[in-house]
Structure formats: structure tokens, C-alpha cells
Amino acid sequence: MNEIQLHDKHFEVYIPSIDILEKVAALAVSIEKDYQGKNILFLSILNGAFMFSSDLMKAMHSNVEISFIKVSSYHGTNTSGRVDELIGLNTPIKGRDIIILEDIVDTGITIDKVMTLLKAFQANSIAVCSLLYKPSAFQGKEKPNYIGFEIPNDFVVGYGLDYDQLGRNLSSIYQLKK
Ligand code: IMP
Ligand code: MG
């Protein structure tokens, strides 16, 4: 399946599944090297990071825990501004070594929100591991600590990432057909 169609758009393979799994294994090795003797808690950001998180968990040999969170925005009742909240955080964070797992860091807005919201929970450390990173779109504060692939500012799908909810099941990453 080198080419696929999702809704109205055509996509072609960009990062084959085998290259993704090799990179995920390498990320696990560098994380384990940096966190020797520590008890890591992964915080996986749904929905996009589910597949990456699953493969990264399988590639880890040391003890590691995982919890899944979502970020949502709503209009607060007292202000006209939007309020962000973390949903699903059911594991104590205080004193823990946290690694946030993202499928992709694009503008960096999502990861900045998560970092801001997590600050209140007094973790011992917080790092970010993103499979994909678009440096030319990034406007956030700090680039992720662990990055699988730096990619151009093009739209990609597959391996958890969707185009209007389709494509998450693909084991390779696809880009819009040129
Ligand atoms: P942000 O711009 O860094 O806040 O990225 C927010 C979210 O947009 C990511 O977690 C993805 O779910 C989604 N996203 C960004 N770029 C892409 C893309 O190329 N394909 C699919 N989803 C994307
Ligand atoms: Mg995402």
C-alpha cells in the first residue's frame, strides 16, 4: 500500500513502518540511558500518540508506567477567555519523573498547554518525547527533549495521526501526494 485515499485526498508513503519501529527502539535506548535507576511515568497524549506510546512501551526494558491524558479547552463561566484542562490524569504526579509522549509537535501550542497545566502537580522532572517534530512550524517555548523525526511543514497521516479521523490505523506514515 504505497498510495492510499482518505476522504478526498491522496497520500503516499513517507516514513515506512520498519523505519518507525527502528526509531522507536532507538528512542527507548536513549530514554533508558538517561533515566537509569528512575521510575518513569509516561503521559501519553490522546488520541494521536496511542500507537507510538504502545510501541515505545514494548521497546522499554526497565520498569515504566503509563497514563493517558487529553487536553481540552472550554469557555470558562466567569471569563470570556478559553480555559484549558487536562482530562484523565488519575496517577499521582508529585515527585515523579514524567515523559510526555506526543505523536507530533507542530506549532507547539498543545505541548505548551500540557506543560503549563502540569507545573501545578510538582513533578520531579518533565520531559517531552515526540515521534515527529516540525521545526519550521514550531512557535513554542522549548523543543522536545526526544525527537524521532524532524519533518518539513507538510501534512502527514498514519501511525496514530489522522486526516479528519481517518488514517490512524496505518502502520506507516504518509504525506499528501505531490
Ligand atoms: P500543535 O500545533 O503542536 O499544537 O499540534 C497539535 C496537534 O495537531 C497534534 O498533536 C496533532 O494531533 C495535530 N497535527 C499537527 N500536525 C499534524 C499533521 O501533519 N497531521 C495530523 N495531525 C497533525
Ligand atoms: Mg496529538
pTM, to two decimals: 0.96
What values do phi and psi take at 22, rounded to 5?
Answer: -65, -40
Neighbours of ion ligand 2 (CB under 5 A): 48, 103
Nearest CA to ligand 1 atom 12: 48
Q: Which residue out of 52, 84, 101, 104 has the highest number of ligand 1 atoms within 8 Å of its CB and is therefore the one to mutate?
A: 104
Residue 112 falls inside a structural domain: yes
Residue 5 falls inside a structural domain: no
Quick check: 114 pLDDT over 60? yes
What is the pLDDT, as a whole number, of residue 160? Answer: 98
Residue 105 falls inside a structural domain: yes
What is the pLDDT, as a whole number, of residue 120? Answer: 92
Confidence of residue 145 (pLDDT cuts 50, 70, 90): very high
Residue 139 falls inside a structural domain: yes
- Tell me the pLDDT of the chain averaged across its residues: 94
What is the pLDDT, as a whole number, of residue 129? Answer: 98
The secondary element (H helix, E strand) that includes residue 167 is none
The separation between the first and the last C-alpha atoms of the chain, rounded to the nearest angstrom, is 16
Could you say which of 106, 112, 162, 164 is catalytic? 106
User: 128, 99 in Cβ contact below 8 A?
Assistant: yes
Quick check: 83 pLDDT over 80? no
Is 106 assigned a catalytic role? yes
Taking the centre of ligand 1 as the mean of its atom positions, its distance from the CA of residue 157, in whole angstroms, is: 10
State pLDDT tens for residues 3-37. 999 999 999 999 999 999 999 999 999 999 999 99
Number of separate domains in the chain: 1
Pairwise CA distance, residues 2 & 6, whole Å: 13
Q: Phi-psi category of 165—alpha, beta or left, where left has phi over 0 and alpha has psi -120 to 50?
A: left
Quick check: 82 pLDDT over 60? yes
Confidence of residue 84 (pLDDT cuts 50, 70, 90): confident
SS3 call for 98? strand
Quick check: 94 pLDDT over 80? yes
Can you give the residue range of the structural domain that contains 128? Answer: 17-70+90-151
Taking the centre of ligand 1 as the mean of its atom positions, its distance from the CA of residue 104, in whole angstroms, is: 6
The CATH number given to whatever domain includes residue 97 is 3.40.50.2020
State the amino acid at position 105 in one-letter form: V
Pairwise CA distance, residues 13 & 162, whole Å: 14
49: cell is 500518540
Residue 64 falls inside a structural domain: yes
What is the pLDDT, as a whole number, of residue 138? Answer: 96
What is the pLDDT, as a whole number, of residue 80? Answer: 61
What is the pLDDT, as a whole number, of residue 76? Answer: 66
Residue 75 falls inside a structural domain: no
What is the pLDDT, as a whole number, of residue 78? Answer: 60
State pLDDT tens for residues 50-69. 999 999 999 999 999 999 99
Residue 145 falls inside a structural domain: yes
